[in-house]
Amino acid sequence: MTAPKFDVIGIGCSCVDHIAVVKSLPRRDTKTPMLQYAAAAGGQSSTAAAALSRLGLKCACAGLVGDDPEGAFLKSCLREEGVDDAMVLVEPGARTPVALILVEEAAGTRTITYLDSLRGRLRAERFDFDLLLSTRCLLIDPYATSLGAALAPRARKKGIVTIYDAEHAVDDFEKMLSAADYVIGSEQVVETLGEKNVEAALRKLFSYRPRAAVITLGDKGCVSLGPGGFLRRPAFRVRAVDTTAAGDAFHAGFAYGVLAGWELSRALDFASAMGALVCRGLGGRSALPTLAETMELAERG
């Protein structure tokens, strides 16, 4: 049997984040000064792949960018992180997605508005499935749900782990829930699923028969449901500068733990440590932690 080319392939969104730090969110019809500004590479699966590359895994991304300077910037950022960008396709005549992120200085919390300029173009027929399946793990974000739903059943037959970011309902959402080995959602998924609380939402996610379902709760930690029942893990405390990529880093840390063969509680602690540590800097990748940093914090759990 041929060895996989990659440890992890992240499939989904790449975008440019325009990040402005402000004292507080501006009131309607007013102006407020920026305390800091940065333009940085973003996107759920691509940031997770960058995080895993820093941990020493061999990673690639698959997705779309426009044929503009922003697209070239995103591909170059992946290469600088050691992430293979050959499957990040360039869409002729299209604009690369962008996000405007307002970070409140005191809390480090962020409010995001975004332009999804490539919606609906991440189609399965555009990708070489054999190459996408040359990996040990697939990270599927919401922008790649339909592609992931087509790919995941084949991945399962090959023993490839599939982790799905169930951020919000999109086309083929339920197909992807049924096909994923692990499902991770933020607290927003409670409303997405039409449930009243986290425990009910986890039961609903687990009814699709993943190995485990996880809901992240920000500074309240995370809760999972697996064959052993409910498991709650606390958040790690750091001085938060910007929480933009906390979820992306959590997914990366969880994937690392799964591939390492750890029990669920240890994988969750490692993921939580990564999610906390990335909040130390402005932008989704400036403070991505090393393996040693993450291990040190996770072992306090």
- Cite the DSSP H helix spans in the chain: 44-54, 69-80, 129-132, 145-157, 173-179, 188-192, 198-206, 246-260, 264-277, 291-298
**Based on the number of CB atoms within 10 Å of its own CB, is 115 exposed (0-12), middle (13-18) or buried (19 or more)?**
middle
What is the per-residue pLDDT for 1? Answer: 58
Please state, in angstroms and rounded to a whole number, the distance separating the CA atoms of residues 129 and 176: 16
Nearest to 200 by CA among 189, 184, 216: 189
Please state, in angstroms and rounded to a whole number, the distance separating the CA atoms of residues 163 and 2: 23
What is the per-residue pLDDT for 106? Answer: 85
What is the per-residue pLDDT for 3? Answer: 83
Taking all residues of the chain, what is their mean pLDDT, rounded to a whole number? Answer: 95
pLDDT 10s digits, 267-297 = 999 999 999 999 999 888 999 999 999 999 9
pTM (two decimals): 0.95
> Buried b / exposed e across 64-88, counting CB within 10 Å, b at 16+?
bbbebebbebbbebbeebebbbebb
pLDDT 10s digits, 209-232 = 999 999 999 999 999 999 999 999
Angle at 288 between CA 265 and CA 20, to 5 degrees: 120
pLDDT in tens, the chain (301 residues): 578 999 999 999 999 999 999 999 989 999 999 999 999 999 999 999 999 999 999 999 999 999 999 999 999 999 999 999 999 999 999 999 999 999 999 888 889 999 999 988 999 999 999 999 999 999 999 999 999 999 999 999 999 999 999 988 889 999 999 999 999 999 999 999 999 999 999 999 999 999 999 999 999 999 999 999 999 999 999 988 888 899 999 999 999 999 999 999 999 999 999 999 999 998 889 999 999 999 999 998 6
Question: Quick one: fold of 6-25+33-298?
Answer: UDP-N-acetylmuramoyl-L-alanine:D-glutamate ligase (3.40.1190)
Q: Give the gyration radius of the chain's Cα atoms.
A: 18
Side by side, the strands of the sheet bearing 15-22 are: 36-42, 15-22, 98-104, 110-115
Number of residues written out for the chain: 301
What is the per-residue pLDDT for 228? Answer: 94
Residue 4 DSSP SS3: coil
Quick one: how far is CA 198 from the chain centroid?
Answer: 20
